[in-house]
Amino acid sequence: MRPAPLSSRRARPIPIRPNAGRMGQMMCPRTRSAAMKHASTRDLYDYWNDSRGTRLAPERAEIDPTDIRHVLADTFLLGSHPAGDLAVRLAGTRVCALFCRELKGEDFTGLFSHGSRGQIDDLIGIVRNELMATIAGVIAHTDDGSAAELELLLLPLRHHGRTDTRMIGVLAPVTPPYWLGSISVAALSLGSLRHTGLTDEPAGASPLPLPHRAGRLLHGFVVYDGGRR
């Protein structure tokens, strides 16, 4: 079943300025590529980062699907569920192809294995409460024992004055598996690499994170601070 694309809006489209960081800084390619493997992840992050300007997160209404049409297939939008959890509001064709079904309305945490749900809840909490862009390595498991490495990006959005009810993100295989679209992913599990607090740094900065950089522990994740709070 082909999922619905992200709905269009009437607000003025946001112009994309490739590689532009906050306050006009240029994003360091080494910094970005150190944490992001997939082109859709990098492109959506760049667009989100450019759209927010000097704010911690852009408005949901500022996200124009026509500006990110080249990454929509790997993109999803989450919204608050009546029970308080985040449900999938919209999902791109390749995201749905991983599970061989339409994902709209499903509990996002429910896509993960029981052993990973506490960790993904913590990761979501960081995005909601700290307003931090977050990226994680994810393993997709099928019932026949196949597996694929995915990349997960979660980005906070403002919506009607709140910052905890909407998120946009990417879920994409680092290398598309041969079974994509024909064998359903049974569950996702978080991998060992997790990066939070992604920030743009001036050209020449060191990749983030580095082992010697000071970090703080938050819900079991190492958070590298940078940028405005």
Write out the residue range of the structural domain in which residue 96 sits: 37-198
Domain for residue 219, yes or no? no
pLDDT of residue 173: 97
Domain for residue 190, yes or no? yes
* Range of weakest confidence among 6-15, 61-70, 103-112, 188-197: 6-15
Global pTM? 0.74
Average pLDDT in the 75-103 region?
A: 92
Q: What are phi and psi of 38, to 5 degrees?
A: -100, 140
Domain for residue 129, yes or no? yes
Domain for residue 25, yes or no? no
In CATH, what number is assigned to the domain containing residue 176? 3.30.450.20
198 vs 185: CA distance, rounded Å? 28
pLDDT of residue 16: 28
Domain for residue 107, yes or no? yes
* Range of weakest confidence among 108-112, 153-157, 208-212: 208-212
Average pLDDT in the 27-32 region?
A: 46
Split into its structural domains, the chain has a count of 1
146 vs 140: CA distance, rounded Å? 8
Q: Are the CB atoms for 139 and 156 separated by under 8 Å?
A: no
Q: What is the mean pLDDT of the chain?
A: 77
20 vs 97: CA distance, rounded Å? 32
**Does residue 217 carry a pLDDT above 50?**
no
Average pLDDT in the 11-40 region?
A: 48
pLDDT of residue 103: 97
Average pLDDT in the 131-159 region?
A: 95
Domain for residue 205, yes or no? no
Average pLDDT in the 204-219 region?
A: 36
Domain for residue 67, yes or no? yes
pLDDT of residue 194: 67
pLDDT of residue 229: 40
Domain for residue 4, yes or no? no
